[in-house]
Amino acid sequence: MRIVVIGASGPTGRQLTGQALAAGHHVTAVSRRPRGLPRHDDLTVVAADATDPAAIEPAVAGADAVLSALGVTPSRKPVTTYSAAATAVVTAMRRHGVRRLMVVSSSVLDPAWRPSNAFFFNHVLDPYVNRVLVRQVHQDMRRMEEVIRASDLDWTVVRPSGLFEHPTVTDHLVADGSADGVFTARADLAAAMLRELDERRFPRRAMGVATTAVKPGLVQLVRDEVLRSPR
């Protein structure tokens, strides 16, 4: 397949790109500042802002599927990147007859998401971090989901829980709407997205993904997710 990965130099984008190349796909990697991507005969790198329709059209033309893992650094300022990129990508895909779209959103977008055996998360971290500190991001993700749902494309919205780094694909759940789990390894998120391209279990629906085999430690989470260099 010819797969476009948007946000390809981010940590989930790199997983998507690497796993897709390993599976024998051709990847067009889109990012504003391409970096950290492997050299590969089946990899085309395009420097483009995904919110700019004219810039991403050449990347999307001729693709079989577009997978988006772009993201912004959470802040209290209004966020528009997710919805603007969704609008530009949907427009470019419709113009070029590309039908299959998968975008990374968040479990937080499912109002029924309440992971089991996670009292501290459900009563302290989720209400404060997700609903207050990262509220602007989730508001724009909601607009992104609305743009995608309103399109006539063959879409799947992908909702991971708290992302963390793990070197390999492990056991994970996929579920309608959101998955029962606090954490999702990026390797598992990418694997679930690539499998969904083949299996088409969640057409025009949201697919939750949660890792069941491993959990990040607190030190790892702070080092990799809170203290990591700016995107």
Ligand X SMILES: NC(=O)c1ccc[n+]([C@@H]2O[C@H](COP(=O)([O-])OP(=O)(O)OC[C@H]3O[C@@H](n4cnc5c(N)ncnc54)[C@H](OP(=O)(O)O)[C@@H]3O)[C@@H](O)[C@H]2O)c1
Tell me which residues touch ligand X (CB under 6 A). Answer: 6-7, 9-13, 31-33, 49-51, 69-72, 81, 85, 104, 106, 137, 160, 162-163, 186, 225, 231
The type of residue at 38 is P
| Residue nearer to ligand X on the CB measure, 36 or 62 | 36
168 contacts 116 by C-beta, under 8 angstroms = no
Instruction: Considering the complex, state which of residue 65 and residue 157 has its C-beta at the smaller distance from ligand X.
Output: 157
Closest separation between CB of residue 134 and ligand X, Å?
8
Give min distance, CB of 103 to ligand X, in A. Answer: 8
Question: Which C-beta is closer to ligand X: that of 26 or that of 159?
Answer: 159
Residue closer to ligand X, measured from CB, 13 or 181: 13
Choice between 100 and 216, CB closer to ligand X:
216
Burial class of residue 125, CB neighbours in 10 A (0-12, 13-18, 19+): middle
Closest C-alpha among 96, 86, 87 to residue 57: 96
| Distance, CA of 130 to CA of 203 (rounded, Å) | 27
Provide the token pair at 62: 């001729």
SS3 137: helix
Q: How far is the CB of 108 from ligand X (least distance, A)?
A: 7
Q: Which residue has the tokens 């998120």?
A: 189
> In whole angstroms, how close is the CB of 33 to ligand X at the nearest point?
4
Q: How far is the CB of 121 from ligand X (least distance, A)?
A: 12
- The residues that bridge with 4 in the sheet, in sequence order, are 28, 66
Q: Residue 230 class from Cβ within 10 Å (0-12 exposed, 13-18 middle, 19+ buried)? A: exposed
